[in-house]
Structure 1
């Protein structure tokens, strides 16, 4: 150190003294029990608490997850955002929140995969752990898939936002709902029709929610791939991570040859989902980020095969 550095050097109080300076105090007397068996358990109090609760639990829980895919990469690790709930009757004051994360950690340490059969077991085990007749879990995660340029064959990774919601009921069994939100290109049919040349296009986002049949077999069909194909195959063009000039020519011309309104997208995607035998009910929405307006164009369509409406 030079003389200037020595002159500016401070002598600080100890860390304990610094903590006191900023408000820390010595621990006070402890009178309550430290053994779990002797502690008051408020959650398990039994009394008439006026109302049943439909769902209580924890949300926004993040944890690493393993997923499988029929598209490359077939095995991938990503981040899952979880929500766990269960109903409780009016004679129970509350639920045991720690049991949700205990169960998640136990499955994580067992190197589990996020697939529907595993999540069926998870929700049933969770209901047993909670000593309840039902349990629900929801997990949302980014799913990556390889996409090649149509001419060059150069590959890169795209991603979609996927989600699974599994509800277990001791009397009714399992209810399975999946979601997928993917990005597409759409070209405006009106713009193409009225313009001497060119047409404006936009980036669209298609969100699909589907209720799957109880006997759905994920080994035979990747629901993520099926929903993604329903969205992308009905778009003006697909989104690509890598495009060389010959690729861009193909994609641009393909979009021009397949103009789509948001109304067209939801109806065409609905037709594909209607033809999937393992989908019982669905909702589709499309949002186009307009390139010549400040607003977005939106459309939503729902259909239940069981009621035919």
Structure 2
């Protein structure tokens, strides 16, 4: 049978000490506000705030499940002029929690509202919100119509300035199948394929009607320009269909990147874009990679 001293004595044994005399103010109005110190601190800071904040969010989708709750990673920040020492970061988390309690779905419009509120609450001319989250969608296999869930990663980046308004970027990262055109050309017995990861970031026009579900449009652009999409469930007839579809649509990373760029260019709500494609090569230890950026001239 083991024997220990009382809990308080155990804590003291491991370093706990009694509280010291309390001499500093306990009421907020009596406490010194260090962040509001004003003098020359050398530089303006474009962004000051918090990041890697995990919060549940409500997502609407035109594909099933149409209503879903997922976990998002937030970064919230505001401008800080050179004459001011710091910001009250607790106000950022307060605003995020108010956004959560409102029950509003996470989209560009609700984030624009949140970003403007941050700037106002922090008494700064600008504020930014970045958020990324997994978005789930139900997909049916192409022949047997068996259902399962897959996910893509969606990113929103919203910046507000009291004079210039909003600057909004939306991104989507998803995986696809690609089949090597070179292997198909030179091989007697088929061609090697691989899983590719495609990431796109688009800048939005402010005065243009946006799609009802931008993330679904971006995912469709990614998948329709690859050799074939991925599916969560594939029976043998489905596997035959998918592999034959890939063979009929061979794509290098260069091809996927350029085809997606062309379709993004055709969207009247897209002001600029960046496309990246990375293939996990099945016959190499390295990955294949391509990137394209474009900004429409006004």
State which of 5, 9, 12 in structure 2 corresponds to 1:17. Answer: 9
Q: Which residue in 2 is equivalent to 1:306?
A: 297
State which of 220, 243, 256 in structure 2 corresponds to 1:252. Answer: 243
Contact 2:38 2:84 in 1 (8 A): yes
* Aligned CA distance change for structure 1 residues 45 and 82 (closer, same or farther; 3 Å): same
| 1:1-309 equivalences in 2 (<5 Å) | 9-217=1-209, 220-306=211-297
More divergent stretch after superposition (102-111 vs 232-241): 102-111
Per the alignment, in what secondary structure is the counterpart of residue 51 of structure 1? coil
Contact 2:208 2:268 in 1 (8 A): no
Partners of 2:6 and 2:53 lie apart in 1 by 38
RMSD: 1.0
1:226-273 deviations in Å (ceiling 9; x for gaps)? 111111001111100000000000001011111000000000001111
Where structure 1 has 5 or more consecutive residues not aligned to the other structure, the ranges are 1-8
Partners of 1:170 and 1:138 lie apart in 2 by 18
Larger radius of gyration: 1
Partners of 1:159 and 1:51 lie apart in 2 by 42
Q: CA offset at residue 283 of structure 1?
A: 0.2
Partners of 2:156 and 2:6 lie apart in 1 by 52
Partners of 1:122 and 1:136 lie apart in 2 by 9
Normalized against structure 2, the TM-score is what? 0.98
Partners of 1:252 and 1:263 lie apart in 2 by 21
Per the alignment, in what secondary structure is the counterpart of residue 129 of structure 2? strand
Provide the aligned length of Structure 1 versus Structure 2. Answer: 298
Partners of 2:279 and 2:167 lie apart in 1 by 31
Normalized against structure 1, the TM-score is what? 0.95
Where structure 2 has 5 or more consecutive residues not aligned to the other structure, the ranges are none
Structure 1 runs (4+) deviating above 3 angstroms are: 215-218
